[in-house]
Amino acid sequence: MLPLGTKLPEFNLRGVDEKFYKNTDFSENNGLLVMFICNHCPFVKHINAGLVDFTNKLMNKNIGVIGINSNDSSQEKYAEDSLDKMKEYASELGYQFPYVVDEDQSVAKNFTAQCTPDFFLFNDQSELIYRGQFDFSRPGNDKPVTGESLNEAVELYLNSNETVSSQYPSMGCNIKWKVDEEPEYFLEIKG
């Protein structure tokens, strides 16, 4: 798990709009939310409506938002995560944030991302202040999608420049790594 206080890892990734987005593109924002998401995972699908509303509110507070899909879409069973499908998905859902593809999976590895969805919130100094879940809602558990865990971190940061003490790990579908290229940290958890 990426330690709190870690500086924002570098990235330069192609979006569904065919533009490239770099970590430095967000340096004028009050912070940055990096989300590892995808198209096929039921955990992501479960929170999508709430996620769209939440990210729109964040952007209105001048917090940058980027969604990164690191899944290996070359595997036939994950073809739904291809860039072409990402374009359709982002349009259908009304994503206002850049939705980008991490084709070589290096960005996910640099973040030690493990699943979708997985959230990383950085302050205006590009320091990690939250990593974990959106909220306690899961497919089938009847808890409403509220974004409460992430929202608590955002509000505490914006109102008092503090880091929330309660950080809950994300739960979802593991990132679909390229065959035989799984990172060590993933193999340790899996094993």
What per-residue confidence (pLDDT) applies to 188? 77
pLDDT tens-digit map of 90-146: 999 999 999 999 999 999 999 999 999 999 999 999 999 999 999 999 999 999 999
Average pLDDT over residues 54-64: 98
pLDDT tens-digit map of 17-55: 999 999 999 999 999 999 999 999 999 999 999 999 999
Q: What is the pTM of this model?
A: 0.96
CATH number of 12-190: 3.40.30.10
Q: What would the 3-class secondary structure string for the chain be?
A: CCCCCCECCCCEEEECCCCEEEHHHHCCCCEEEEEECCCCCHHHHHHHHHHHHHHHHHHHCCEEEEEEECCCCCCHHHHHHCHHHHHHHHHHHCCCCCEEECCCCHHHHHHCCCEECEEEEEECCCEEEEEECCCCCCCCCCCCCCCHHHHHHHHHHHHHCCCCCCCCCCCCEECCCCCCCCCHHHHHHHC
What per-residue confidence (pLDDT) applies to 166? 86
Residue 153 CA to residue 19 CA, distance in Å, equals 30
| In the block, residue with structure tokens 């880091």 | 163
pLDDT tens-digit map of 161-179: 999 988 999 999 999 999 9
What per-residue confidence (pLDDT) applies to 80? 95
Q: Where are the domains of the chain?
A: 12-190
- C-alpha torsion 117→98→12→30, nearest 10: -90
What per-residue confidence (pLDDT) applies to 72? 97
20 Cβ neighbours under 8 A, 6+ residues apart:
12, 13, 14
57 has a pLDDT exceeding 90:
yes
84 has a pLDDT exceeding 90:
yes
What per-residue confidence (pLDDT) applies to 189? 67
Q: How confident is the model at residue 191 (pLDDT cuts 50, 70, 90)?
A: low
